[in-house]
């Protein structure tokens, strides 16, 4: 009886070698790193994202990087040759501080992941001498170059995640600030309210730092908890009225300040106008002047000396129209139509735009402490929109926000007037 025999071990090794040759021959061109990317940038991407992109641990990642650094840096951007590590395996293992066997395991695993191609002689020999077609024997990194796009995508996703985490943390601070002020207001109005105790306990239980929240999902869950308490407080306060008869939750913090020596920050040449006599010494009782078609009549002002509400001076859809195109994208993400936007929508949009504007989180926090969240949000909206003025545009939004915060701290910021001028420019076309 005859039994079929498999190929001899040396034949199997020859077949593997030939398959590697075939893989190289099938791609006669030499891929290189994307334009603008350096070898150092690739190393940085692998250090940051090797586990997430390729599923390799620290030890295997370090072995990969050590072999990469043993190549010629110029080969990674040379369209005429592949980067190859041709150092002897025992020398490389000794340098890394592992056994030859451990290094062989790393190499085989990296090849199985599609990151390298083990292109050695049958006896494992490696050499930097060029053979036919420019081939050199060793660990070939052509497959890694072909997967650089995965690292770039991973880096982009991580940056977006980091930005989202930063935005959520700022939203935490903003919402907790509003909750604190709402609790203080409730204590002032009704210190024995039955819900006050549980609200205070919930507020005290919130962590001061956010290091314990490591994922976007965890942060969003905590934000939902804070928002639930805020909504409860807003509902309680909406049922009460202060001495002016204005619903407490509807009074915007932006206009809740008596302005002294107001300074306008419109970013336009309107700041250089000559002084003129006021039509009325009381700006709250003076009505709009001008003919019936005058746009000034569209600037609704409350009378009777009370503090104006946001919706009485600027409707949500007007503020939307006053915003830049970039800010509108963030407002659109709220899911509300322009006429249904809320104070919270404007605050969230302003926070989301901070990175685009180059505004540091600390600058936002300072502004929110001085002007309250809505005041800071509309200040950011104002600064962002004024970047696109043809005359005296805002070139450094972060510096402008810091300057306006300092002025507001001295009760000298006429943000209301600046927003009116922005409205005249964006809605009525008056520069």
The pLDDT score that the predictor gives to residue 70 is: 94
Average pLDDT over residues 102-130: 91
The mean of the pLDDT values for the chain is 81
Write phi, then psi, for 85 (nearest 5 degrees). -95, 110
Average pLDDT over residues 102-128: 91
| Burial category of 52 from C-beta neighbours within 10 Å (exposed 0-12, middle 13-18, buried 19 and up) | middle
Which contacts (CB < 8 Å, 24+ apart) does range 270-279 have? 270/421
Q: What 3 state SS string does the chain have?
A: CCCCCCCCHHHHHHHHHHHHHHHHHCCCCCCCCCCCCCHHHHHHHHHHHHHHHHCCCHHHHHHHHHHHHCCCHHHHHCCCCCCEECCCHHHHHHHHCCCHHHHHHHHHHHHHCCCCEEECCCCCCCECCCCHHHCCEEEECHHHHHCHHHHHHHHHHHHHHHHHHHHHHHHHHHHHHHHHHHHHHHHHHCCCCCCHHHHHHHHHHCCCCCCCCCCHHHHHHHHHHHHHHHHHHHHHHHCCECCCCCEHHHCCHHHCCCCCCCECCCCCHHHHCCCCCCCCCCCCCCCCCCCCCCHHHHCCCCCCCCCCCHHHHCCHHHHHHHCCHHHHHHHHCCCCCHHHCCHHHHHHHHHHCHHHHCCCHHHHHHHHHHHHHHHHHHHHHHHHHHHHCCCCCCCCHHHHHHHHHHHHHCCCECHHHHHHHHHHHHCCCCC
Same domain, 117 and 18: yes
Q: How many CB atoms lie within 10 A of CB 15?
A: 11
Average pLDDT over residues 82-93: 92
What is the tens place of the pLDDT at every residue in 168-219?
A: 999 989 999 999 999 999 999 888 889 999 999 999 998 887 777 888 898 9
What is the tens place of the pLDDT at every residue in 362-382?
A: 999 999 999 999 999 999 999
The pLDDT score that the predictor gives to residue 56 is: 94
% the chain with pLDDT above 90 = 59
What is the tens place of the pLDDT at every residue in 147-161?
A: 999 999 999 999 999
Residue 221 falls within a domain, yes or no?
Answer: yes
Write phi, then psi, for 270 (nearest 5 degrees). -65, -20
Average pLDDT over residues 55-73: 95
Do strands 138-140 and 84-85 pair parallel, antiparallel, or not at all (unpaired)? antiparallel
Average pLDDT over residues 39-58: 95
Q: Does the pLDDT of residue 288 top 70, yes or no?
A: no
Domain that holds residue 61: 9-146
What is the tens place of the pLDDT at every residue in 306-351?
A: 445 544 688 999 999 999 999 999 999 999 999 999 999 999 999 9
Count the domains in the chain: 3
Locus of tokens 């020398």: 91
Same domain, 187 and 222: yes
Question: Is pTM beyond 0.85 here?
Answer: no
20 — pLDDT class (breaks 50, 70, 90): low
292 — pLDDT class (breaks 50, 70, 90): very low
Same domain, 65 and 123: yes
Average pLDDT over residues 124-146: 87
Residue 59 falls within a domain, yes or no?
Answer: yes
Q: How many CB atoms lie within 10 A of CB 243?
A: 6
The pLDDT score that the predictor gives to residue 404 is: 96
Q: What is the CATH number of the domain that holds 51?
A: 1.10.10
Q: Does the pLDDT of residue 105 top 70, yes or no?
A: yes
Tokens of 343: 């104070």
- The lowest-confidence range among 73-77, 145-149, 296-300, 346-350 is 296-300
Residue 1 falls within a domain, yes or no?
Answer: no
Same domain, 207 and 322: no
The pLDDT score that the predictor gives to residue 132 is: 76
Residue 288 falls within a domain, yes or no?
Answer: no
The pLDDT score that the predictor gives to residue 248 is: 41
Residue 385 falls within a domain, yes or no?
Answer: yes
Same domain, 235 and 261: no
Locus of tokens 């409205």: 423
Same domain, 13 and 116: yes
Among 101, 120, 146, give the residue marking a domain's end: 146
The pLDDT score that the predictor gives to residue 28 is: 53
Same domain, 422 and 387: yes
Q: Does the pLDDT of residue 293 top 90, yes or no?
A: no
Residue 298 falls within a domain, yes or no?
Answer: no
- What distance in Å separates the CA atoms of residue 131 and residue 115, rounded to the nearest whole number? 23
422 — pLDDT class (breaks 50, 70, 90): very high
Same domain, 73 and 116: yes
Same domain, 211 and 91: no
Write phi, then psi, for 234 (nearest 5 degrees). -60, -40
Average pLDDT over residues 14-19: 48
Residue 277 falls within a domain, yes or no?
Answer: no
% the chain with pLDDT above 70 = 76
Same domain, 57 and 92: yes
Same domain, 131 and 180: no
Residue 280 falls within a domain, yes or no?
Answer: no
Same domain, 213 and 256: no
């Amino acid at each position: 009886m005859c039994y079929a025999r498999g190929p001899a071990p040396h034949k199997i090794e020859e077949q593997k070698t030939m398959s590697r040759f075939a893989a190289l021959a099938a791609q006669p061109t030499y891929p290189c790193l994307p334009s603008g990317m350096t070898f150092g940038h690739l190393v940085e991407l692998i250090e940051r994202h090797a586990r997430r992109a390729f599923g390799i641990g620290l030890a295997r990642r370090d072995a990969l990087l050590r072999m990469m650094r043993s190549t010629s840096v110029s080969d990674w951007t040379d369209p005429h040759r592949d980067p190859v590590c041709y150092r002897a395996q025992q020398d490389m293992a000794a340098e890394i501080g592992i056994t030859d066997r451990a290094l062989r395991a790393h190499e085989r695993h990296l090849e199985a992941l599609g990151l390298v191609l083990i292109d050695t002689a049958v006896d494992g020999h490696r050499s930097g001498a060029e053979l036919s077609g420019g081939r050199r024997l060793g660990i070939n990194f052509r497959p890694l170059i072909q997967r650089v796009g995965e690292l770039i995508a991973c880096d982009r996703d991580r940056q977006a995640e980091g930005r989202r985490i930063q935005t959520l943390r700022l939203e935490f601070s903003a919402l907790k600030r509003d909750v604190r002020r709402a609790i203080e207001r409730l204590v002032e109005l009704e210190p024995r309210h039955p819900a006050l105790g549980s609200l205070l306990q919930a507020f005290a239980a919130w962590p001061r730092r956010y290091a314990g929240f490591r994922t976007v999902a965890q942060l969003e869950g905590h934000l939902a908890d804070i928002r639930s308490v805020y909504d409860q407080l807003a509902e309680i306060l909406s049922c009460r009225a202060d001495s002016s008869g204005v619903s407490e939750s509807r009074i915007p913090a932006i206009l809740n300040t008596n302005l002294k020596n107001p300074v306008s920050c419109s970013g336009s040449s309107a700041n250089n106008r000559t002084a003129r006599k006021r039509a009325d010494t009381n700006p709250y009782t003076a009505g709009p002047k001008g003919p019936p078609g005058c746009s000034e009549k569209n600037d609704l002002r409350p009378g009777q000396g009370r503090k104006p509400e946001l919706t009485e001076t600027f409707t949500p859809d007007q503020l939307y129209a006053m915003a830049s195109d970039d800010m509108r994208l963030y407002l659109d993400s709220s899911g509300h139509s322009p006429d249904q936007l809320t104070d919270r929508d404007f605050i969230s949009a302003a926070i989301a735009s901070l990175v685009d504007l180059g505004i540091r989180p600390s600058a936002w926090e300072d502004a929110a402490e001085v002007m309250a969240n809505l005041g800071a949000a509309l200040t950011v909206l104002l600064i962002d929109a004024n970047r696109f003025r043809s005359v005296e545009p805002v070139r450094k939004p972060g510096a402008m926000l810091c300057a306006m915060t300092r002025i507001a701290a001295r009760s000298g910021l006429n943000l209301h007037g600046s927003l009116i001028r922005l409205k005249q420019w964006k809605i009525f076309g008056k520069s």
